Amino acid sequence: MIPWLAGCVAPTALEVGAEPSPEAPAVLAVTVAEPGEWRVATGDADAPELGPWGALDLRGFPAGEDVSWAVTGTDGEGRTRWSDWRTWRVPDPPPGLPELTVEVAGDPGFRFLAATVIAADQVGSAVVIVDTEGRYVWWTAPAQVALTPELRATEDGPVLGWTEAGADRDVDAAAFVEVPLSGAHRTRTPLPSGHHDAAVLPGGELAFLAMAFEDHELDGVVVPMVSDEVRLTTLGATDGDPIELLWSTFADMPVAARGTCDHIRQPTSRLGRDGVREWTHANSLIRLADEDTLLIGARYTDWLYAIDATTGELRWVLNGLGSDFVGPDGAPVWRSPSDTDLWSHAHLSEAWSGGAMVFDNGDHHQPPVSVAMEVAWDTASRTAEVVWSRPHPDGGATGALGDVRRVGDDVLVSWAGLGTVEVVVRDQATRWRLRLSDGMFARVLPVDELR
């Protein structure tokens, strides 16, 4: 047994409390009323694993697992103290989440995978973390559809954030939500007319995609249209707080609204407005810190464009009608949605100066096929090209979501509606594959540590 290290008289056992987090039920929050320096030990009394000082919760254990734990540390008089050993059963994940099966069990290059989940038939959504054996270890259920996870470091530990919006974008109730991995609390920042994605900026600002409506001529007829704006708010803002307009596609894009594909011509409903035509359908917003730049991916127009994160000035447009870039041979990279050297309708979550990982949904390819790719560009020569790609191995196509990220020299791909997530090496071999019974992992984020 572990010895008491306080002289001849053993101090009293340490009294502790424990409750599952209401925000992240797979986290057990532990409290100690006495002052001192405390941490959680797990395993067993003869060979405990000690967490870092100040770590007073259990997290990262698979759903349904029994975890033996105790609290140890030094009290205010300098004595080493231990609580009694207890056993906590990690709760089962909420019903409706897909069952997961690891089909290829190599080393994926990370320990955990965070994902936004869209349940079968879009009847529910969640934000989850799974381990590399395909076991749920963390989750929280949002009120709406959750998209685009991001993990940021704070003084109080890692915080997982995501954008929430209605499944059909029919109500104005979007928000950027953050929950620390400790599950200690939830912060909800409303995004008026918001959708799809947001990016945390320095100083606590939050840039987000929002819908804007105007009447425009489309195929010779004036119709109500919806496009995108980039607006600025503050993390933790409340309804009615000031919102700043940084960018308007209607006002600031040199190309006028037009129907470059049938997706744009199709009447739809947005925020309670019927019969509108959606011009751009932006779905990705990425901050490039070293350039003070925001990248916006607009799916229907095939644009990836850069704006100044401070002034909103347009810097360049890649792909789509009016692209500033050509291929290495000087030829246009985009002739139409079905005739492009880059992508035909896409999503993306990772970019850097001069490149990005892009999930090409491939809506207008002939035949349709989804492709994970890496795209490189040179802003000086205004050239761009695909430098690596992986078409879906079975020739599948998904019109919804999808994601691609780098993992060291390998590539992580969420095939979204096709029901798999995989890590592939550059020669196309699969290193690790996760299969979902139903639903989809919409966008994914590799995670090394949960503290």
pLDDT band, residue 124 (cuts 50/70/90): confident
Topology given in CATH for the domain delimited by 95-118+335-451: Lipocalin (2.40.128)
- Residue 262 CA to residue 219 CA, distance in Å, equals 11
pLDDT of 113 higher than 50: yes
Bridge partners, 98 (sequence order): none
Whole-number pLDDT of residue 119: 83
pLDDT of 121 higher than 70: no
pLDDT band, residue 154 (cuts 50/70/90): very high
pLDDT of 148 higher than 80: yes
pLDDT, tens only, 58-93: 999 999 999 999 999 999 999 999 999 999 999 999
Q: What is the dihedral of CA 380, 384, 387, 388, to 10 degrees?
A: 140
In the structure encoding, which two tokens stand for residue 350, read together?
Answer: 């990772």
Q: Half-sphere exposure of residue 136, counting CA atoms within 13 Å on the CB side?
A: 28
* Residue 21 DSSP symbol: -
Stated pTM of the model: 0.94
Residue 291, judged by CB atoms within 10 A of its CB (0-12, 13-18, 19+), counts as: middle
Whole-number pLDDT of residue 4: 42
Percent of the chain with pLDDT over 90: 89
pLDDT, tens only, 162-176: 999 987 778 899 999
- Residue 406 CA to residue 350 CA, distance in Å, equals 8
Domain ranges of the chain: 16-89, 95-118+335-451, 142-324
Q: Which of 66, 137, 93 is nearest to 451 (CA)?
A: 137
Whole-number pLDDT of residue 123: 58
Q: For 411-429, what is the mean pLDDT?
A: 97
Q: How far is CA 114 from CA 139, 171, 242, 300, in A?
A: 9, 27, 32, 27
Q: How far is CA 437 from CA 120, 134, 149, 441, in A?
A: 9, 12, 22, 11
Contact of 88 with 78, CB cutoff 8 Å: no
Q: How far is CA 422 from CA 107, 396, 403, in A?
A: 11, 14, 11
- Residue 71 CA to residue 3 CA, distance in Å, equals 14
pLDDT of 334 higher than 50: yes
In the structure encoding, which two tokens stand for residue 139, read together?
Answer: 């989750």
Q: Which of 379, 331, 371, 332 is nearest to 355 (CA)?
A: 379
Identify whether 367 is preceded by a cis peptide bond (ω within 30 of 0): yes
Q: How far is CA 408 from CA 21, 158, 170, 171, 404, in A?
A: 33, 21, 39, 40, 13
Neighbours of 17 (CB within 10 A): 11
Whole-number pLDDT of residue 237: 97
What is the chain's percent helix, strand, coil content, to nearest 5? 5, 55, 45
Contact of 177 with 185, CB cutoff 8 Å: no
Q: What one-character-per-residue DSSP string does 302-328 give?
A: TEEEEEETTT--EEEEESSTT-S-B-T
pLDDT of 3 higher than 90: no
Contact of 427 with 97, CB cutoff 8 Å: no
- Residue 190 CA to residue 173 CA, distance in Å, equals 7
Average pLDDT value over all residues in the chain: 94
The CATH label, of 2.60.40, 1.10.3470, 1.10.405, 1.10.357, for the domain at 16-89 is 2.60.40
